[in-house]
Chains A and B, each alone.
Chain A
Amino acid sequence: SQTIHQWPATLVQPVGSPLSLECTVEGTSNPNLYWYRQAAGRGLQLLFYSVGIGQISSEVPQNLSASRPQDRQFILSSKKLLLSDSGFYLCAWRPSGVGEQFFGPGTRLTVL
């Protein structure tokens, strides 16, 4: 069966510090991978998606970047965090962009 992991679960970082959130998927190959951000009590904002290794598409201009160094690994990064980067970050995968999407447990990021 397929599983998706995200870590860390929670993170408190000072403004200006770097960020690295990792997401890995098990039990499938060549998944489409997605990073979303969710503000408190709000909907999901798609940040990045990837259809293959090294292929990253950005949906919104921002302070963040993403990379996919391996087929089932998706990393969200920032060189210098802003207060506005606070939020709940969700990783998700989808088999070749068809059907339902499977979400990780999320990372709660607080930038102080």
Chain B
Amino acid sequence: SQQGEEDPQALSIQEGENATMNCSYKTSINNLQWYRQNSGRGLVHLILIRSNEREKHSGRLRVTLDTSKKSSSLLITASRAADTASYFCATDAWNAGNMLTFGGGTRLMVKP
């Protein structure tokens, strides 16, 4: 079963707007990670947030984590056409051994 579930499944915005994607999970985690996948390519790691952190920034990315609600959000500010991709959250759970569990992803389209 999937630990992380992203919402929405698809998002279409205009260039310059902000994009927000959400991820919910079910069990206690060590950390939560966000990845990006361009069409037909492998996934690329964007950011990792630990269970004792509430917010983290990296360039135009802002990630929040609410362990009480078992949810995370990824905000991309001032989006660009090049941000068009699928975004996945992945949870690193305490009881999952050496495995990350990936959600189904959010497909983001940024229109120029």
Residue of A nearest to B6 (CB): A43
B11 within 8 A of A: no
CB of A103 within 8 A of CB of B42, answer: yes
CB of B43 within 8 A of CB of A100, answer: no
**How many residues of B are counted as interface, with CB atoms below 8 angstroms from the partner's CB atoms?**
22
| Closest CB in chain A relative to B81 CB, distance in Å | 20
B99 within 8 A of A: yes
**Per-residue B-contact encoding for A9-53, CB less than 8 Å = 1, 0 else:** 000000000000000000000001010100001111010010100
| Closest CB in chain B relative to A37 CB, distance in Å | 12
**How many residues of A are counted as interface, with CB atoms below 8 angstroms from the partner's CB atoms?**
25
| Closest CB in chain B relative to A87 CB, distance in Å | 12
In the complex, which residues of chain B have a beta carbon less than 8 angstroms from the beta carbon of A90? 42-43
Which single member of B2, B45, B105 contacts A101 (CB below 8 Å)?
A: B45
CA gap between A34 and B45 in the complex, in Å: 15
In the complex, which residues of chain A have a beta carbon less than 8 angstroms from the beta carbon of B35? 101, 103
In the complex, which residues of chain B have a beta carbon less than 8 angstroms from the beta carbon of A104? 42
CB of B98 within 8 A of CB of A101, answer: no
CB of B88 within 8 A of CB of A106, answer: no
B59 within 8 A of A: no
CB of B40 within 8 A of CB of A43, answer: no
| Closest CB in chain B relative to A71 CB, distance in Å | 16
In the complex, which residues of chain B have a beta carbon less than 8 angstroms from the beta carbon of A97? 97-99
CB of A94 within 8 A of CB of B103, answer: no
In the complex, which residues of chain A have a beta carbon less than 8 angstroms from the beta carbon of B107? 41
Binding site for A on B (CB under 8 A): 2, 33, 35, 40-45, 48, 88, 90, 97-105, 107
10 contacts between A and B (CB under 8 A): A32-B98, A36-B102, A43-B103, A44-B43, A44-B88, A46-B101, A88-B40, A101-B35, A106-B40, A108-B40
